[in-house]
Each structure stands twice: as C-alpha cells, then as structure tokens.
Amino acid sequence: MMRRLTWAFALAAALLVLPGNDGCVTSEPETCDGVDNDLDGNVDEDFDRDRDGYVDGAVCALSYEDGELDCNDTNPTINPDAEERCNGIDDDCDGVVDIGEDEDGDGWTTCGGDCDDTDAHANPEGEERCNGVDDDCDGTVDNGFDRDGDGYATCGGDCNDNDASAHPGATEACNGLDDNCDGKIDEGCGYRGGAIQVTTAWNTRANLDVFITEPTGETLSFQHPESTSGGVMDHAARAGCGADFTRDQIENAFWAGDRIRKGDYRVSIHYWGECEGGGATTGAVTVALSGKVLGTYNLQLNPGTRRDVLTIRVR
C-alpha cells in the first residue's frame, strides 16, 4: 500500500511541471487510480471511507493488488492487516472466514468448535473421559461420569458418587461420613481419629451398637470403651431409644498410631431394637487410616439382628 501510494504521489508531482497550458495542470474529480486527481495532496482519499488506510476493493480493484484492498470499507476493523477473529466475518480480507490455526493438530480450530486448541484429545469429536476435562467440547466436564448429579465425578474429587450431598466444597455434617471429600470424617464434631478410625452412622431411631474385635481378641464397644492396645470408643450411642437422633445415631472408635497392633480388626453391628416403629435402617461404616478415608461400606439392618460388616487388616 505504501509503495503504491508513494509512487502515485511522485507521479502527481511530476504532472505539475509538465509543459503545456502555461505549465498548469487542471484539477479533476478524484478517481481510484493511485493518482492525486484533485491536487489536494492526498491520493484516493475518497475511496477509504472508514479511514483504515485501505481503499475500497469494490471500486479500486483495477488499480491495486489484492493485499491492498479493503473488503469492507465501512468498518475500520476489517482490512488486510486486521487479525482474523471467530465472528463469521472475513476480518483480514483474505477471502476466507474464520479459518484460524489448528494449534494442536487434531483437525479442529477454535473457530471450528475446538474448546481447547492446545489439547489434541479435546475437540467436538473427542471421546469424553473421566479426567476433569471437557473432551468432547459440549460445554460439560466429565458428563456421563457424575452418577449422583452433584456436578462432581470421581475423577473430579467426588469421594462418594452415589450421594449428591457428598462432594468437594460441601458442608461437613456430623453423620459419620466425609461430606466435603477432604479425607476426614466429621471434622469439627468432636470425634477423634488416629492410625485407625471407624465411624458408624444409621438413619432411623434405633438402639444400635458397634463392636470391634481387635487382633488380641479384646472387643471395643459401649460396654468396653477402652482397650489395652489403645483402642478408644469416644462416642457411643448408649441412650437407646431415648437418644438424641442428631447426635446419638453415630458411634466412633479410634486407635492411636503408637500403640496399633498388626492383624485383623473385625467390625460387627447389633441392631437391638427399633424405636418408634423405625423398622429396618440403612447406614454406613466409614474407615479412615492415618486421617485419610479408606472407604465407606453401606449397609441395611433389621431389628434384632447382629451382623459382621467388615474386617480391617493391618500389616
């Protein structure tokens, strides 16, 4: 553009000193030809309406090369020097709309729907995986892997994808579970942990007790809340049917790390009797080792039964 305009200005200056008609040159209406026809010191100024430095390609195609022509002379953001954007417009006047660059080589550009053009696995034809990434670019992360619909999948930090109330950022409740998925059980509720922590919770008014038999044969329970090997039951639902349902539906036991014995710790639960027609109850036993939740065992119990639930093996 600058090369052609400089040449045109030099030609216009030369025309001023050509002999004939007493050395005068007559001013003419400006036409788009690379010449200052009206002798005002500007070349083709009437054909750059948006003043972006490029003349109207619809009028000046015979006098300028393709890279010097404005494909939309009413918009100063559109010209051969503009940056192409994803907007359905040929911003840089190269004759192509929104082609962009395929940075990750997956055959898709950002303008073509690639939601992450730095990851070849992420594109509109990508297969969704459980990885915290929107692999198929449908606007949803790990869709198909969030079973409980709480917005978190197992790979996204959901520690219990069968319970919509348990996920990262949830409020921790005193319910024997790791609600906020931080690896701890009922923090702030006063229950203690250690090398082993076993927390049991149930969901109806019931007279229920937990028994944990240690490798030595000694059994930890509400009747025997401390063992010789360091086991402590620091919360036991001993009030029977008169218990406070918000607190006494939980039992918690732990062993300090410096006194833990190797071997099997067998957990059983006795549902003595229902309260106020509670009937069968669902519940869960959550096990944590050294402050990190190992897993949760869901259960269902009927009144008047004792059930062996799980065994924790310490090696």
Split the chain (315 residues) into runs of 10 and give each run's mean pLDDT.
41 44 67 84 86 91 88 95 86 83 86 90 92 90 86 86 90 83 78 84 80 95 91 76 61 83 92 74 86 85 89 88
State phi, psi for 240 to the nearest 5 degrees.
60, -140
Rg (C-alpha) for the chain, rounded Å, is 39
The pLDDT of residue 9 = 43
Q: In this structure, are residues 214 and 231 in contact, taking their beta carbons and an 8 Å threshold?
A: yes
Q: Is the whole-model pTM more than 0.75?
A: no
> What is the spatial distance between Cα 225 and Cα 142, in angstroms, rounded to a whole number?
45
Q: What is the rounded (10 degree) CA torsion for 150, 154, 157, 162?
A: 40
Rounded CA separation 74/60 (Å): 15
Q: Give the count of alpha carbons within 13 A of 311, CB side only.
A: 7
d(CA 107, CA 148): 34
Give the integer Cα–Cα distance in Å for 153 and 21. Answer: 88
Contact 168, 157 (CB under 8 A): yes
Tokens 């929107």 sit on residue: 134
The span from the CA of 252 to the CA of 107, in Å, is 56
Domain ranges of the chain: 1-99, 196-314
Question: Residue 155: what pLDDT?
Answer: 83
Contact 92, 83 (CB under 8 A): yes
The per-residue pLDDT for 267 is 95
What is the reported pLDDT for 126?
93
Q: What is the pLDDT of residues 241-299, one digit of tens each?
A: 655 555 567 889 999 877 688 899 999 999 887 676 667 888 889 898 887 888 888 88
pLDDT of residue 16: 44
CATH (residue range 196-314): 2.60.60
